[in-house]
Amino acid sequence: MMLTVLTLIVLINTNMAIFPKVCLSGEIFASKECCPVPEGYVDKCGGPERGYCNDIVVNIVDSTDGFTGDFERFQWPTTFFNRSCQCLGNFDGPDCSDCKFGWSGKNCTNQTTRIRRNILNMTVEEVEQFKLYLIKAKNTISDYMIPTTLYRNMDDGQQPMFTEISVYDFFTWFHYYSVWDNIVKHSGASPDFAHSGPGFPTWHRSFIQLWEMALQKVSNNEEFALPYWDWAGEPNCTICTDTYFGKSTDSLHNFTVTGTFANWPAICHDFENLTQHGELCSNTRPSLNTPRIQRNPGGNESPELQVLPSKEAVYYALSVTDYDVIPTNYAPVYNNWTHSPCSFRNVLEGYADSENQTGLPRVHQLHNQVHLYFNGTISVIANAPSDPIFILHHVNVDRILEKWLRRYNVTADQFPDTSAPLGHNRYSYIVPTFPVRTHSDFFKKSHNLGYDYDDIDEFGLPLDPIEREKEIMAVNKMKKCRVPNGDSVKK
C-alpha cells in the first residue's frame, strides 16, 4: 500500500490512466470532473470551438442480475468521474484534441479510410514494421493510468491510487478489467462486460480500433491499419514462424515462442489469485520474473481444439440472419445468452455449433476455438491480449462482423436495447472506455469508422471472383437455423 502511494506521488510530479493522467491528481480526481484543457487552449475541452465540459448521463441502468458487491464498473464510469468533455463536430478524445475515427488533420476535416490487410499479403518489410510498432508500444508509457486497487480503497475518491502502464499493456489491462470478476459470483458465473452477450462483437471492435489508434500515435504513422489473419480453413498456424509471430518451443514444456516475441512478458497472469484476494492486477511493470507468452498451437488434448475453424463454419455464421436473440427457454443456465440458438453473435463468438451447422449451444467454435487452439496465454480469456496474435485474430473476427453487417444492411435497432446482460445493451457504455462510447457507436459499417478491409465489397462479399462464387453458393445452401422445440425466435 505504502509503495503504491509513493509511486503515485513521483508520477504526479513528473507529469501530472484507464483514465487520462491529467485527471488523476488528488483534487481533480475527488471532484469527479475530467475535463482537461488541451495544449494551446485556455478553456476546458478546447472550448468553445472543440467541445465543452458536460455531465455524464448513464443512458441505461442495466439490470445487475442480482449481483452484489463492488460496483465500480456498474453505471460506468460514474463511480470515478461524472463529468467529461463533450466534443463537437469531428473532435474526439479526453480533451477534444483528437479526431473522431476516420478523420485527420489539424481541424479534423480530412476524411480518411485506412485499409486493414491480410497479413499474408504484406511484404516482409511491412510485417517487420508492424512488429516494430508493437515493440515501441510495449516500451512507451501510456497517457492513461490504471487503478492499482478498487475504488472503495481510495478513501471515497480522496486518495487516487493509479499507476503507469505501457501503451501495449494498457490494452491487455483494459481487456482484463472488462472480464475481471469483482462482483460476487452468482450461480457459478461472473459478469463479463466484453463476452457472452450481444456486446461481444462491438466491445472488441471498439477495443481493436482504440488499439489501432494508439499504434498510429506511437509510430507517428497516421496511415497505419492493423492486419488480420484469416484462420478459416488453415491447416495450421501459418503465422507461427519467425517471419511473423514465432514458433513454439517445447523446452521443458514451457512452450515459449521464438523470434521477435520471445521473452515478451505477459502481465496479469496471476489475476485469478489476486481476484480471490479481492485485489486488482497492478503489477504492470514487467520484470525478469514476469512470465513470458506461451503457446502450443494444436496442443490441447481435445481433438476439436487441435484444428482451426473451417471455412464452412464462417459461411454458416454469415447465413444466420438475426444478430442476437433473447434467450429462449431452450437451455436455461446462468447467462442464457451463450445458449441463444440461431444468433449470429453467439455463432461468431463460438458458443453455438457452426462446424455441424445447427446453431445450437456448443462452447468451442469459431472465435473461442481459435483462442483455445493456441493452448497458451491467448487461451486464458482475461489476459489473452498479452500475445500479439490476439490482435490478428480479433481483426479477423471484426472482418466477419463487417461482412455480416454489409450482407444484411442492418440498423442499430437490431441490437438488443434492454434485455441484455450487464453492460451489453445497445446504449450501455462500453466498460472501461473513457471518454465513454456505446455499443451502438460501433454497430455500423466500417466506413463510418474510417476503415475498410482489403478483400470485401460493399455487400461484404469477397472481391476475388472464385472466393465470391464459393461464398455465395455455400451461404445459400446452409440450412436455416431452427430452435429444436419449434419455438419461434424473436429478437
Q: What is the contact surface with ligand NAG in residues (CB under 6 A)?
A: 32, 55, 65, 82, 104-107, 110, 112, 118, 121, 222-223, 235-236, 240, 247, 252, 254, 256, 270, 273-274, 277, 279, 292, 297, 299-301, 304, 327, 329, 332, 334, 336, 353, 355-356, 362, 375-376, 379-380, 409, 454-455, 458-459, 464
Contacts of 6 (CB under 8 A, 6+ apart): none
Sheet arrangement for strand 33-34: 33-34, 83-87, 51-55
Complex with ligand NAG: residue 142 or 410, whichever CB lies closer: 410
CB of 30 to ligand NAG, least distance (A): 7
Complex with ligand NAG: residue 40 or 476, whichever CB lies closer: 40
CB of 144 to ligand NAG, least distance (A): 21
Whether 352 contacts 365, CB under 8 Å: yes
H or E element in which residue 163 lies: strand 162-163
Query: Residue written as cell 442499430?
Result: 412
Q: Which three cell numbers stand for residue 19?
A: 483514465
Q: What is the DSSP string of 94-137?
A: TTS-EE-TTEESTTS-EE--EEE-BGGGS-HHHHHHHHHHHHHH
Complex with ligand NAG: residue 13 or 488, whichever CB lies closer: 488
CA distances, 196 to each of 10, 199, 229, 352, 381 (Å): 40, 8, 23, 11, 12
DSSP structural state of residue 44: G
φ and ψ at residue 60, rounded to 5 degrees: -140, 125
CB of 166 to ligand NAG, least distance (A): 21
CB of 136 to ligand NAG, least distance (A): 21
Complex with ligand NAG: residue 44 or 142, whichever CB lies closer: 44
CB of 354 to ligand NAG, least distance (A): 8
Of residues 208, 144, 143, 153, the one with CA closest to residue 175: 208
CB of 174 to ligand NAG, least distance (A): 21
Of residues 57, 74, 226, the one with CA closest to residue 137: 226
Complex with ligand NAG: residue 142 or 266, whichever CB lies closer: 266
DSSP structural state of residue 310: P
Whether 353 contacts 312, CB under 8 Å: no
CB of 60 to ligand NAG, least distance (A): 16
Whether 208 contacts 391, CB under 8 Å: yes
Whether 311 contacts 232, CB under 8 Å: yes
CA distances, 341 to each of 56, 356, 422 (Å): 36, 13, 20
CB of 40 to ligand NAG, least distance (A): 11
Complex with ligand NAG: residue 15 or 418, whichever CB lies closer: 418
Of residues 285, 232, 258, the one with CA closest to residue 403: 232
CA dihedral 241→206→186→275, nearest 10 degrees, is: 60
Complex with ligand NAG: residue 17 or 142, whichever CB lies closer: 17
CB of 409 to ligand NAG, least distance (A): 4
3-state secondary structure of 442: helix
CB of 222 to ligand NAG, least distance (A): 6
Q: How many residues does the chain have?
A: 491
DSSP structural state of residue 415: S
Complex with ligand NAG: residue 153 or 300, whichever CB lies closer: 300
Complex with ligand NAG: residue 181 or 222, whichever CB lies closer: 222
Q: Which three cell numbers stand for residue 61?
A: 441502468
Whether 203 contacts 194, CB under 8 Å: yes
CB of 90 to ligand NAG, least distance (A): 11
Complex with ligand NAG: residue 128 or 223, whichever CB lies closer: 223
CB of 397 to ligand NAG, least distance (A): 17
Complex with ligand NAG: residue 140 or 310, whichever CB lies closer: 310
Complex with ligand NAG: residue 140 or 149, whichever CB lies closer: 149
